[in-house]
Amino acid sequence: MAPPDKLWVLIAAFNEGEMIGRVVTDVRRLYPRVLVVDDCSSDNTAIEALAAGAIVLRHPINLGQGASLQTGLRYAVANGAEHIVTFDADGQHRVDDIAVLSAKERETGADIVLGSRFLGTTENIPPLRRATLRMAILFTRMTSGISLSDSHNGLRLLTRHAAERIRIRQNRMAHASEIIDQITILGLSVAEAPVTIMYTEYSLRKGQRIGNAVNVLADLFVARLKK
């Protein structure tokens, strides 16, 4: 496992308010290098993240989660990161699962380790959300040729080798499938690790609604047409 100062945790945030402070504080108990990319929030997200000890970058205009992750990857690599873990801002991930991803990377030597809620555990997942995720998995298998058990999980580990090569161009939520496409195109190796996703009233309100899943499919369809 990379030393604590070489493993960075990257969080893309938009209007997370006090939640981002709690998430950063929780992560920094074990991993001090936390980078928050504030995607032009209109609330106190940047202030809360700074107060909790994160490095904070801020977009001057709202660009979307994919763009925020690309900004963060470039910054972390430029500042010496050897491993970068992407971690959602809404409290649905467990800090302990970062060690699970790291262990899988050491075991397999994979360039990217993707967290899987379907190999692990989901808490309070709405049935319609589960069905939509299954559809996304099938779509990803058909279009990328990679067989995964979970294709839209925001908890993932990238080695420096992978982070230097990945270029996220889908600014909105379809970046998850774009990353999988690039795994194939760039010849990167990939593994999955079991993780827990905790669906709460807050996370469902922020980013897990069925409408967002429909937007993902729309983004992916448009991206395919542009190829």
Domain CATH for 131:
3.90.550.10
Q: In what order do the strands lie in the sheet with 112-123?
A: 55-58, 34-38, 7-13, 83-86, 156-159, 112-123, 190-198
* CA-closest candidate to residue 166, choices 81, 73, 80: 73
Residues 129-174 have pLDDT tens digits of 777 777 776 777 776 778 899 988 999 999 999 999 999 987 666 7
Confidence (pTM): 0.88
* CA-closest candidate to residue 84, choices 12, 34, 48, 127: 34
Residues 217-227 have pLDDT tens digits of 555 555 555 55
Structural domain that includes position 81:
7-226
1 lies in a domain?
no
Residues composing the chain: 227
149 lies in a domain?
yes
Q: What is the pLDDT of residue 171?
A: 62
Structural domains of the chain, count: 1
27 lies in a domain?
yes
- 7-16, 36-45, 54-63, 135-144 — which is least confidently predicted? 135-144
Contact yes or no for 64/162 (Cβ under 8 A): no
198 lies in a domain?
yes
114 lies in a domain?
yes
Give the pLDDT band (50/70/90) at residue 208. Answer: very low
